[in-house]
A and B are shown apart, each in its own frame.
Chain A
Amino acid sequence: MKVVLPSPLASYTANRREVEAEGASLAELLADLDRRYPGLRFRVIDEQDAIRPHIRIFVNKTLAPSLDRPLAPGDEVLVVAALSGG
């Protein structure tokens, strides 16, 4: 499925903002993203498996509060770098 990533993660994807990844849940999707782009997951998900404070993840434009969110083929996942100060 299509995953749209914010500019702070561009260094992991050779500047690609739209990438493909698979998974039946956000947790699986993030694991797949990390296989394809090593290190990416830790920058957006902490060691307690929580979404980091200045990251928001939307599935089909609806905010996903945790990695438990199920996914279906054709879903679109948007990772956003929210406001974080100067």
Chain B
Amino acid sequence: MPRPHLLVGTRKGLFALHADAKRRKWSIEGPHFLGQVVNHAVLDPRDGRTVVAAVKAGHLGHTVYRSEDRGATWKEAARPPAFDKAEGGEGETVNHVFWLTPGPAKQPGRWYAGTSPAGLFSSDDGGRTWQGVDGFNKHPDRRKWIGPPGDGPPDGQTMHSVNIDPFDPDHLYIGLSAGGVFETRDRGGTWAPLNRGVAADFLPDPDAAYGHDPHCLRVHPKVRDVVYQQNHCGIYRLERAANRWTRIGDNMPRDVGDIGFPMVLHPRDPKTAWVFPMDGGTVWPRMPIGGKPTAYVTRDAGKTWKRQDKGLPPAHGWFTVKRQAMTQDSLDPVGLYFGTTSGEVWCSFDEGESWQCLCLHLPHIYSVESALVS
């Protein structure tokens, strides 16, 4: 019987949460890489045992670790993601790997990594060695897309949300914070922005081609050409025939708004998605509105939204759920999981109708990823 296996990346290490098949009993294991930032750790769904983790210590440069036994033992990448050495000393340096994505089923061993500053890297040997995707990293417009050095979110410019089209392994979507959504149809050789219809109230041109700030981009795994994003300026859905994003967050309650970081899709139903709204007013507190954390779900592709806060703190829940820190399993009913900046992991086994806390007192949580294991 498949059972969920969660990988929780935190500011001070990596933890794993194991469930039984009924998702009733959970155990926690770790920390791995104690004291080091783990931005993201992902179990490869193609073999169910390889884990790749993005790791950075405060004093040291970043690196990538990989495990072939689901985290029992680890080996460091022989060549972590790094930009090419530039002549004259003006080259860029990868500060940290922010995002990891296993490649498509027909390309075993392939992985993608998004970094800060925003760069795209790939591996064809299960994460042992990494090379830059030159079509992006050396694109003549890349600097215009990602902005000048030092711009971007507090932890630096990031490439995140590396999504592979499940129907075309050469078609990738990426998110740049800030910079916008971009796509390639030739496995990274050429790129085009994909931001029509997306607001960017911090840009002077309302119809700018890029410069937007996607927080989390998700491509539906089963239904072709259905894409959602939680953006700095709203919640959007895209069907590629239209090629223009629709702001489905306009249908959220006005007193809640449609600002947040994560976005989670139902693994089968393309009209069902979850968000976790944050306060984007005044100085952008980035916390639950009024200190009342809640998820919202749509089951009709964003026409209507329903509040889901049963079991969550009714007041004084002052935490943030980061863009990589909310996910789902593919069981029926779908299990939902999120981690907080205050070190709590919450779960729901009825698709968000009720929530329970799985564990407390972990470090600041950066990411939560789930996989089904036997």
| A residues at B contact (CB < 8 Å) | 6, 8-9, 38-39, 42-50, 52, 54-55, 81-82, 84-85
B94 to chain A, nearest CB (A): 7
A66 to chain B, nearest CB (A): 10
Q: Residue B229 at the A interface, CB < 8 A?
A: no
In the complex, 14 of the A-B residue pairs with CB atoms within 8 angstroms, ordered by the A residue number, are: A6-B59, A8-B60, A39-B78, A42-B82, A43-B57, A44-B60, A45-B61, A46-B61, A47-B83, A48-B83, A54-B58, A54-B60, A81-B59, A85-B58
Q: Residue B150 at the A interface, CB < 8 A?
A: no
Q: CB distance B84 to A43 under 8 Å?
A: no
Bitwise, B69-100 to A at CB < 8 A (1) or not (0) is: 00000001010101111100101111000000
A65 to chain B, nearest CB (A): 13
Interface residues on B, range: 10 to 19
Given A42-B63, A43-B63, A55-B59, are A48 and B80 neighbors across the interface (CB < 8 Å)? no
Q: Which residues of chain A come closer than 8 Å to B85, judged between CB atoms? A: 47-49
Q: Which residues of chain B come closer than 8 Å to A45, judged between CB atoms? A: 61
Q: Which residues of chain A come closer than 8 Å to B78, judged between CB atoms? A: 38-39
Q: CB distance B61 to A43 under 8 Å?
A: yes
Which of A47, A48, A50, A54 is within 8 Å of B59, CB to CB? A54
Q: Which residues of chain B come closer than 8 Å to A6, judged between CB atoms? A: 59
Bound Cα distance from A46 to B117, whole angstroms:
14
Q: Which residues of chain A come closer than 8 Å to B82, judged between CB atoms? A: 42, 46-47
Question: How many A-B contacts at CB < 8 Å in the complex?
Answer: 56
B59 to chain A, nearest CB (A): 4
| B residues at A contact (CB < 8 Å) | 57-61, 63, 76, 78, 80, 82-86, 89, 91-94
- Does more than half of chain B's interface fall in helix, strand or loop, or is it mixed? loop
Q: CB distance B80 to A42 under 8 Å?
A: yes
Q: Which residues of chain A come closer than 8 Å to B91, judged between CB atoms? A: 47-48
Q: Which residues of chain B come closer than 8 Å to A54, judged between CB atoms? A: 58-60
Nearest A residue to B36 via CB reads A8
- Does more than half of chain A's interface fall in helix, strand or loop, or is it mixed? loop
Bound Cα distance from A54 to B56, whole angstroms:
12
Closest 6 CB pairs of A and B: A81-B59, A84-B58, A47-B82, A43-B60, A46-B93, A54-B59
Bound Cα distance from A52 to B94, whole angstroms:
11
Bound Cα distance from A38 to B83, whole angstroms:
19
Bound Cα distance from A45 to B91, whole angstroms:
14
Nearest A residue to B79 via CB reads A42
Q: Which residues of chain B come closer than 8 Å to A85, judged between CB atoms? A: 58
A43 to chain B, nearest CB (A): 4
Given A42-B80, A47-B83, are A84 and B94 neighbors across the interface (CB < 8 Å)? no
B305 to chain A, nearest CB (A): 38
A49 to chain B, nearest CB (A): 7
Nearest A residue to B91 via CB reads A48
Nearest A residue to B75 via CB reads A39
Q: CB distance B63 to A82 under 8 Å?
A: no
A47-B85, A48-B89 given; 13 more Cβ-contact pairs under 8 Å? A8-B59, A38-B76, A39-B76, A39-B78, A43-B57, A46-B93, A48-B86, A48-B92, A48-B93, A54-B58, A55-B59, A81-B60, A85-B58
Nearest A residue to B76 via CB reads A39
Nearest B residue to A48 via CB reads B91
A25 to chain B, nearest CB (A): 17
Q: CB distance A82 to B80 under 8 Å?
A: no
User: Residue among B60, B63, B82, B91 with the most chain A CB within 10 A?
Assistant: B60
Given A38-B78, A42-B80, A42-B82, are A47 and B57 neighbors across the interface (CB < 8 Å)? no
Q: Which residues of chain A come closer than 8 Å to B80, judged between CB atoms? A: 42
A30 to chain B, nearest CB (A): 13
Q: CB distance A8 to B57 under 8 Å?
A: yes
Bound Cα distance from A84 to B37, whole angstroms:
13
Q: Which residues of chain B come closer than 8 Å to A48, judged between CB atoms? A: 83, 85-86, 89, 91-93
